Chains A and B, each alone.
Chain A
Amino acid sequence: MYNTKNKMLEQELKDIWNNASQTAKISIETNQLVEELNNKVSRIQKKIRIRDIREMSASAIGILLFDYLLYEIPFPITKVACGLAIAWFVFVILKFKKSKTQNIKTDFSLSLTEQLNNQKTMMAQQANLLDTALYWYAIPPFIMNFIFILGLENPADYNWTNSIAAKILPLSSNLKIITLTGLALFYAFTFWVNKRALTKDVKPIIESIETMQQQIKK
């Protein structure tokens, strides 16, 4: 029963609540604030641009490098691996671009329930990208590297003389094994980093969103 006593208490709580903010004075210099806000927006946009360039440039450098190797190296199997590597780098660029266009922008003016749904979808997309990293970010380049190294033959058989490439490429069996082991460890590490980001960063956020969704439904 909602009685008068409770109503009085409720009004008292509302008064306490409303009077609380009177203990602090908030003064805002709007002109300066607008300038600071614009600066912050510019800083964020610059950071995003730099991140985009960084993501794309790694793949762009890869494409150029394997273009050169495709042209220069005479070994047929290695040439096939170079072609596959170029295709994979193009795929990675497209994947990043697609992920950016699919990204749902955070809209804080949505209602609380819509906002939670929105954020969950956004985080689920990120989780999916990290969760499948093994299949599109680690295994394909490892296979390509494997074919590339396996296809390296004796340069003399092809009358190929490129002292720089010959020095860089692992032409002996021992060097091939060492390089492949190093690459396997590197891709295993890449996979672990992605899984860790999924478990440590993304999953807890999804869980807290789901908890809030449950709370609000109850």
Chain B
Amino acid sequence: MNTGQIISGAGHLGLIFWALLGGLFSPEPLPVETTDVSMISGEEFAALMAAEQSPDAVAIIETPEPPRIEDAAPDLASTADDTPDLSQPDTTQETPPDDAPDVSRITPPDVAEVSDEAPQLTPPNEEVAVMVPEISERPRERPTNRVAPIPVAPSEPDVRIDDVAQPEVAPDEAAETPQDVTEETAQEEANTRIVTEADSLEPPSSSLRPRSRPTRRPEPVEEPQETQTASDTPDSTVNAALQEALATPTSAPGGPPMTRGEKDAMRLAVQRCWNVGALSSEALNTTVVVAVSMTKDGKPISGSIQQLSASGGSGAATKQAYEAARRAIIRCGATGYDLPRDKYDRWRNIEITFNPEKMRIK
């Protein structure tokens, strides 16, 4: 017997003695919660279950009172109807006979003259022109010398062509104060594209766009905030918080930012003078970025105009494209662009990209 078996036997004996002597098998019962029960009969159990399954009907419903009956009986007395008058009508009165119709007034119809001969028909006049209502022709685009983003209808022949259309103002002779005479002017006729002779013989595939109101400045439109979706980046909440903080306009020293409407107005103003009609096809493939500084009254400073970059054309083509851009800025800014004066710091310096991509196909 080795030492391990001895130690194991001793251990087990010790454990047995501890269980017997330590009270592990003592007769004291464990505390058990008890409750009183009562014996009930089967009828009582069935009544109890039926009460559990039935709906709750604890509300007290007042028993309606029966209608009160008067003690006195109602008066059932009635009066007899009057006897109707059954006397016969007086038959001795004679009615006058109807007037006999005056046959003499009826004229017999004319006897139709029937002949076996065929009637003589009057031949129709020869070469009679029948006026058939003409179908109005569909409007056709006319070739014009001018192509502009906004089409301009042809003006009356006597009206002077000018950049701005304005009605004629005649002085009121009855007015006390002298009034200026304004000659009627109209913009030069323009199409949105070049109309060739072959095109002008075919009906247009689409109608011209309606003419826009010329003088009204576009309503300022707030630029929509850039929205970020949850799938953008994990930092979307951080960026959103930062954008919200940066969006506080009143703290910017240059005033509120330019609205999209104000930018569009400026863009349209320059576009009106950007004449690419005399550019070569290579210059029409050239995009130039031009910088210009502005005075506070919205006029471009000619000396500040410079070409920042160019792409798509050779040196000569770039030069022509830049000159056309430069002319556009100066021409339409001669009287000052309509820019918000309170935001001067925002448009003190302007960079304009002149990209004639849409003019190549016109």
**Is this pair of chains taken from one and the same complex?**
no
Interface residues of A, Cβ cutoff 8 Å to B = none
